[in-house]
Amino acid sequence: MLLRYRFRLYPTRPQRIALSRAFGCARVVFNDTVAARRLAHAEGLPYPTSATLSKRLITEAKRTPERAWLGEVSAVALQQALADADQAFRNFFASLKGRRQGSRMGPPRFKRRTGTQSIRFTRNARFEVLANGRLHLPKVGDLKVAWSRDLPSKPSSVTVLMSPTGKYYASFVVTVEDGTDFPGLLADPEAETGIDLGLKDFAVLRGGKVIENPRFFARLEQKLKKAQRALSRKAKGSQNQAKARLQVAKIHERVKQARSDWIDKQVKTIVAENQGIYVEDLGVKSLSRGRHSKSIQDAAFGMFLTRLESKANRAGRTFVRVDRFFPSTRLCSACGALTGPRGLEGLKVRAWACGCGAFHDRDANAEINIRREGKRMVAEGHSDTRNASGQDVRPGTLGRPGNPRKGKNEEPDRSRSATADRKPGIPAH
Ligand SMILES: [Zn+2]
């Protein structure tokens, strides 16, 4: 599988200048690509190919006075920016046609000067990790890296990022074989758990064991809202607006880091204690709350599942995603009747009684159903199918400084994660 390893970078002043030039050029090429495609669409012209755009927006543009400065940065990195815009369009089209997992995507948007800046170097851009531990980037120089752990293999690409708060990171994509962190099978055949992602709690595990939402979720959310309100009141383009924007970015960074550390801790415990891990696929619950209540918790679910899957695979654990339409909450785990709470009203029900005489805690019952369904999928050979499609390699989340603990600063590459085949055993209604 592909993993991302992220490290903090400490560029010198001249290197920062070269990088900001590279970020700017990559952003311009990306935005020019988006603009050219939008224009072609608006005028009813055929979709311009990447080869045409590469010639027009890079090779020929360099010869014009308005874009002559494009020649000052690595040409391969500019090609990559164009390829990234291209991929963004392909993802959008795939999403339109329903061929892409996850929620609907919008068309690619223009990159802004105030957001996270990035530039990607692939192997043929001849970036290199030097023997002295520095990262060599063409037309930038040899950058100092805070190596917090070794790279497991030669990286296939590196994305250099600058966060809105002015921190630099290198995010390497490396290939890691499954089972490389294999700690041995757990002796207890019952060391298995379903995971019911919660509404009140973060998740419920086997035996009704609860992972509570950490308090900082709510605390930081309040802080973030307050800072965002302050930002919205500032005059556009003013010095105060810039300050308020930095404040928001700083809180975002803290949220991401705190959430990421907390999730790593949960994932580590679950993988250490369980040979089989069965989860419900994401979607239903976060959607059921409506789009206005997208919270830190909702955002944490996705990261939690991605990292759990990645770590479980590396540790040789069974990991299965149960179909999101599997009625884990409504199904009575004692008799199999669909007697549980349903719909929006049902979200408030904590416990219920089935006609068969069984009395259930709502989440503990759901965990049993998820675990059973996952085991059934394994038994019938529906799980562990690899999804090797998709080329998009996103730089993952930002905001974590180099950390010396093992396994800390890595991010599974989401485009290549394994996904279980979807085959629910019981119809949704
Ligand atoms: Zn029942």
Domains within the chain, CATH numbers bracketed: 2-175 (no CATH), 192-384 (3.30.420)
Q: How far does the centroid of ligand 1 lie from the alpha carbon of residue 352, in Å?
A: 10
- Taking residue 109's Cβ as centre, other Cβ atoms within 10 Å add up to 9
Mean pLDDT, to the nearest integer, of 15-42?
Answer: 94
Active site residue 196: yes
Model confidence at 102, in pLDDT bands (50, 70, 90)? Answer: low
Dihedral sign computed on CA atoms, order 181, 152, 254, 235: negative
Residue 64 identity (one-letter amino acid): T
What spacing in Å lies between the alpha carbon of 206 and ligand 1's midpoint?
19
pLDDT category of residue 303 using cuts at 50, 70 and 90 = confident
- 236-273 pLDDT, tens per residue? 989 999 999 999 999 989 988 899 999 999 999 999 99
What are the tens digits of pLDDT across the range 13-22?
Answer: 999 999 999 9
pLDDT at 76 over 90: no
CA angle, residues 145, 151, 157, in degrees to nearest 5: 80
Query: Given 280, 281, 367, 373, which residue is catalytic?
Result: 280
What's the pLDDT at 314?
Answer: 85
Give yes or no for residue 384 having a pLDDT over 80: no
Catalytic residue among 192, 196, 323, 413: 196
Entry field: residues in the chain = 429
Residue 230 CA to ligand 1 center (angstroms) comes to 52
For the stretch 148-187, pLDDT in tens is 888 888 999 999 999 989 999 999 999 887 766 666 777 7
Task: Say which residue the tokens 């930095």 belong to.
Answer: 246
Contact between 50 and 117 under an 8 Å Cβ cutoff? The reply is no
For the stretch 221-238, pLDDT in tens is 889 999 999 999 999 989
* Res 131: pLDDT: 92
* Residue 35, pLDDT score: 94
**19 token code pair:** 């990088």
CA of 338 to the centre of ligand 1 (A): 8
Determine the Cα–Cα distance for residues 369 and 325; give it in Å rounded to an integer.
13
Q: Is the pLDDT of residue 398 over 60?
A: no
What percent of the chain is predicted at pLDDT more than 90?
A: 46
Is residue 412 pLDDT above 70, yes or no?
A: no
- Give the pLDDT confidence score for residue 316 in this predicted structure: 85
| 415 or 323: which leads in pLDDT | 323
Q: Is 280 a catalytic residue?
A: yes
Q: What is the pLDDT of residue 371?
A: 94
Question: 360 C-alpha to center of ligand 1: Å?
Answer: 9
> Is residue 406's pLDDT more than 50?
no
Among residues 281, 363, 367, 413, the one annotated as catalytic is 363
Ligand 1 centroid from CA 397, angstroms: 43
